Amino acid sequence: MTTTAACLAGEWTIHAIAQQREAMLALVNDGHIAFDTSGITDMDSAGLQLLLSAQRSVALQGQELKLLQLSNAVKSVLAVYGLDASLHSIHPEEEVVE
């Protein structure tokens, strides 16, 4: 199965989350379920909340959110909140096209 990863970038903090929210909603509404987070430079709990919201939206579509190429900022926030195993979803059997 081939999955196209949408690239996420920039700050995912309380100061910039409104912009990121609109872009993320558009991607999820377009059917994206895999996200390359290597371009996220900073993340706080507001950014995490947006990822969790996207995960919920994707689940309502009967799919599983996939986070790929985690940036250090994303890894750090997921680890702090104990979500690194449950939200960080990589399926090595799938080919990811960038």
Confidence of residue 27 (pLDDT cuts 50, 70, 90): very high
Q: Is the pLDDT of residue 26 over 50?
A: yes
Domain that holds residue 27: 2-97
- The answer to whether 46 and 14 have CB atoms below 8 angstroms apart is yes
Contact predicate 1/95, CB 8 Å: yes
Q: How much is the average pLDDT of 54-66?
A: 91
Distance between CA 5 and CA 36 in Å, rounded?
A: 6
How many independent structural domains does the chain possess? 1
Read off the pTM.
0.82
Residue 15: CATH number of its domain:
3.30.750.24
* Overall size of the chain counted in residues: 98
pLDDT at 83: 86
Convert the pLDDT of each residue in 39-48 to its tens digit: 999 999 999 9
Q: Is 50 exceeded by the pLDDT of residue 3? A: yes
Asked if 65 contacts 87 with a C-beta cutoff of 8 angstroms, the reply is yes
Return the structure tokens found at 89.
């979803």
Radius of gyration of the chain (CA): 12
